[in-house]
Every structure is written in C-alpha cells, then in structure tokens.
Amino acid sequence: MVKLLKKTTFKEFFKVNEYVAHTTPMRTHYHSKNPLEKWIWQKKKEVIKKLISNTGIKNIIDLGCGDGGMIDAVKKDIAYTGIDISPTQVFAAKEYMKKQRKQNAKIKEGDVTLLKEKTSSYDAALACDIVEHVLSPKKLFSEMKRIVKKNGYIFLSIPNEYLWEFFRAALLRFPLRSPDHIHAIEQKDIEENFPVIEKREFLPIPMSSKLSLIHIYVIRNKK
C-alpha cells in the first residue's frame, strides 16, 4: 500500500498545488542554479525521450503535464495530449506550446484520477513525478490502465522521497519535504500495481535504486 505522508482535503490540495505552480513550477528544476539538480532533471527528460522513441507509438497522454516541459521528450510525429488540474500550469503549458511552435499537441485542464478520456484511446501514457501529488494513487493507476490500449506503454517516474529530503537538507531548502507531496511511492508500489515492467532506469546512479533520486519505469499495459 502506498504510504500516506499527510492527510488533506481536495480544497487544501488544490490550494497547495496552485501555490507550487506559482512559486516552483517544473521549469525551475530543469533550469536550476544547482548543477546536480539541473543535470538530473535534464537527464530524466533525455532518458524518457529515448525510451519513448523506441516504441513506435502514435499518440500519448501526459498525465500531470505541469508547464508542458516533457513534450520535448515526445517526437513531432507523435500526437501529444497534456492534462493538468492546475489552471496556472495549463496556462503555462499552452504558452510553452506556442513558444515552441509545437504542432499535433493539445493541453487540457482536468483531474488525472477522474479522466474523461475514452477507454483504450491512447498508445501510451506519460506520468512523470505525478503519483506522489495526487489524492488517490490507486485511482490514478486504474485510470492509466483504462485509457491505454492493451499492450500499450506507461512511462512512469517517481522520486526517491527520503533521499530527496536529504538532498533538500544539503541544499538548505526548506521545508525538507515538498509541500505538495501527499504520498511516498516506492518500487514495491509500482511492482504491485504493474506486474509487467519492461525496463527500469535509476538516476543519478544507474545500478542503485536506493542511492538514486529518480526512478523511471517502462510498463506494458496488460490491463
């Protein structure tokens, strides 16, 4: 069972989510002044881009797309749909699409645990650092399986919560725990919910999940 870090209401969840969207959106990590933080986030994008490019998928949905930065990991010939519950993030993502002149892409506002997408409507789903933010990881996992076609792909990344807290302490970044993290996700949680994991990547130390800040999984959706 996924570990709950803090109990919260939807109202409080939404409020904190908007606060983080205004103060530390995803682009602050990709362009951090800290060399290690910048490297690891940029490396994550590179790894996911390579993993996606090897699948031959035609369309993908980015769950919890934030300010849209992960579209850079998706080839131009793949139809991209980004969805986020934050109006602030959705606006930023749409602006990023315009700035980058991205075609074959659209951004929508919505709850990733209550998707309006049709069943089996995507070849793949991208869920980068979103599971720890949602009120119900179980519902998110269920929705991923529902909207992705059988034998389709789920590209999922999670933070090593406790190592990130140590990292934030070393950087004198407070609070030590990200204020919008509701759950701590571990390898066993992914394995229990997705039995067919085709590939795992760990950053920055490829051979150690415990000493890596980010875990990336390539999952085949067997429904």
Q: Model's pTM, two decimal places? A: 0.92
Q: How many helices (H) and strands (E) does the chain have?
A: 7, 9
Segments forming the whole domain that contains residue 193: 3-220
Total structural domains within the chain = 1
Say what the pLDDT of residue 171 is.
66
Say what the pLDDT of residue 25 is.
81
Map residue 195 onto helix, strand or coil.
coil
CATH of the domain at 165: 3.40.50.150
Say what the pLDDT of residue 174 is.
61
CB 100 within 8 A of CB 28: no
Tokens 């998706």 correspond to 74
| CA–CA dist 21, 197 (Å, integer) | 31
Say what the pLDDT of residue 163 is.
83
- Mean pLDDT for back-to-back runs of 10 residues, the chain (223 residues): 90 94 86 86 94 94 95 92 96 90 90 96 97 96 97 96 76 72 93 95 90 94 85
